[in-house]
Amino acid sequence: MQNEVRTLRAEAGLSQQDLGEAVGVSRQTINSIEKERYTPSLPLAIKLARHFSRTVEEVFRLD
C-alpha cells in the first residue's frame, strides 16, 4: 500500500507529532505509515484523508 501522507503533511506544514495528535495516534505510527511499513486501519485512513480534505483513494493506493 502506497500513500501520500508525508507529502500532504509537509504541504500542511505539520510535524508527525502534530498529525498524530490530530488523528489520535503516536508520532511513531505516523512515521511508520509514511515509510509504508504499516497499513492503517480503515477508520484511521479515513481520519487521515479527512484531515487533509482528500478522499481515501487520493491518500492511499494499492501497489
Partner 1 sequence: MTEGRGTTNANARPPWRSRWWLPVWSAGLGVAMLIAAALGGDALGGLIIAASFFVVAGGLVIAERSESLRGVGGPAGDERFARIEVGSMATAGRAMGLAVIVAWIIALANGDDGASFTWVLGIGAIAYVISLTWRRARY
Site of interaction with partner 1 (CB under 8 A): 24-26, 28-29, 32, 38, 40-41, 43-44, 46
Is the Cβ of residue 11 or residue 24 nearer to partner 1 in the bound state? Answer: 24
**Terminal-to-terminal C-alpha distance of the chain:** 5
d(CA 31, CA 15): 10
Alpha helix positions (H), 1-63:
5-12, 16-23, 27-34, 42-51, 56-59
Is the Cβ of residue 7 or residue 24 nearer to partner 1 in the bound state? Answer: 24
In the complex, least distance from residue 19 CB atom to partner 1, rounded to whole angstroms? 13
Is the Cβ of residue 11 or residue 57 nearer to partner 1 in the bound state? Answer: 57
